[in-house]
Amino acid sequence: MSTSQDWIEEDSTDFVEFGDYFVPNRQTQIDTVLSLIPPPDAPVEMLDLCCGPGLLSKGLLEAFPQATVVGLDLSPVMLETARRELSGFGERFAAERFDLGGRSWRSRPVAPAAVVSSLAVHHLDGEQKQALFRDVHRLLRPGGVLVLADLVQPVGARGLALAREGWNTAVRERSLARHQSLTPYEKFHELEWSCYEYPDELDKPSPLPDQLRWLTEAGFDEVDVYWMRAGHAVYGGVKAEGRR
């Protein structure tokens, strides 16, 4: 999930270790993303932007046997973890180093059937998100989808408080249920992981209404929000058949 030089390898190591506690309803988010991708009837390529340790890529590979998945990330720790965890899929998974905000990766020899990303796009500012949406729309094959699972910015104080407390509650509940202690919850605060409680320059979440508008302006159809909890949302759109 690394996107810029501001993300350090220690962050990657922490996320690999604690991500299952820090991400609310992680499996639900993954399942929701997968459910929004039309099953291909021929071999296709799919891109996982900022693939992290490879959980979403693994979901794609298991759900769509005809797909090859390219996992892209800036972090060597993340890429090495993904390669190791997904080695059983052989040549169906490839890992590439990239910078999400860069442009060179946005031209590929094969138009992907799906572009997905989890907890990465919020590291781009508004203008960068708009450019990303336009470029991904051009990149996708007709009928292809862009689905994001990401942090979004509440538009008011009540929404911000709800997102902050909801995230705390989710991490606390997960810590007690899986670890039988509050150690991961305490680590969550020690690392100041929540941008709603500990804002920093690396996190640039944008309001969801803005992002839905930017997706529409980029040319996507069926733009929608599919799931949301504690400031985390799954949303995206479809490149209509016949679009170029």
Report the alpha-carbon distance of residue 174 to residue 80 in Å, rounded.
27
Closest of 99, 54, 111 to residue 81, by C-alpha: 54
Q: Which long-range contacts (CB under 8 A, 24 or more apart) does 160-168 make?
A: 160/196, 163/196, 163/230, 163/231, 164/194, 164/196, 164/197, 164/231, 166/24, 166/229, 166/230, 166/231, 167/24, 167/194, 167/196, 167/197, 167/230, 167/231, 167/232, 168/194, 168/197
Q: For 110-120, how does the pLDDT look when each residue is reduced to its tens digit (9 = 90+)? A: 999 999 999 99
Q: For 120-163, how does the pLDDT look when each residue is reduced to its tens digit (9 = 90+)? A: 999 999 999 999 999 999 999 999 999 999 999 999 999 999 99
Phi and psi based region of residue 231 (left: phi greater than 0; alpha: psi -120 to 50; beta: remaining):
left
Q: Does domain 9-153+201-238 have CATH number 3.40.50.150?
A: yes
pLDDT band at 241 (very low <50, low <70, confident <90, very high): confident
pTM exceeds 0.95, yes or no: no
Name the H helices within 2-114: 9-22, 26-35, 55-63, 76-85
Residue 239 has pLDDT above 70, yes or no: yes
CB contact at 8 A, 21 and 179: yes
Closest of 24, 81, 25 to residue 58, by C-alpha: 81
Strands 44-49 and 67-73: parallel
Q: For 18-35, how does the pLDDT look when each residue is reduced to its tens digit (9 = 90+)? A: 999 999 999 999 999 999
Q: For 40-65, how does the pLDDT look when each residue is reduced to its tens digit (9 = 90+)? A: 999 999 999 999 999 999 999 999 99
